[in-house]
Amino acid sequence: MKQLELKLPPVAVTALFAVAMWGIARVTPPEPLPQMLTFLAAALFTLGSGVVGIAGIAAFRRAGTTVNPLQPENSSALVVGGIYRYTRNPMYLGFVGILAGAAVLAGTLLPLLVLRYTL
């Protein structure tokens, strides 16, 4: 199972996708979206996704297990309660939602295509 080993931490992957989205936004013309609507949508995506991600971390902490996917051998429990009753991986869902909020805030919808490759 060597090929399944995680090479980069999820936070680094999220940062790389954010940079790619920023680059796409810089070279594409802005969409004619109302500024207040853009800000509101970005805030909702970001805050809601942040809450989902933090709820995942809190569930891991309550179970007394590690949140570090680079060291699966340190896991001590299978978490199935809390936010995990509704989603299989709320931490990754939180990252994707935050990226979606950043894409909307960029003022152009083309960076949303990058999200396709995060799933």
| 119 residues of the chain, pLDDT tens digit each | 465 456 788 888 889 989 999 999 889 888 777 888 889 999 999 999 999 999 999 999 999 998 888 888 888 888 999 999 999 999 999 999 999 998 888 887 788 888 877 66
Does any domain span residue 14? Answer: no
pLDDT of residue 1: 47
Total structural domains within the chain: 1
Cα torsion through 98, 111, 38, 107, rounded to 10: 130
pLDDT of residue 72: 80
- Total number of residues shown for the chain: 119
In whole angstroms, what is the distance from residue 101 CA to residue 40 CA?
Answer: 9
3-state secondary structure of 117: coil
Does any domain span residue 8? Answer: no
The answer to whether the predicted template modeling score (pTM) of the entire model surpasses 0.95 is: no
Lookup: tokens for 110: 């083309």
- HSE-CB at 72 with a 13 A cutoff on CA atoms is 5
Range of the domain at 105: 35-119
Does any domain span residue 105? Answer: yes
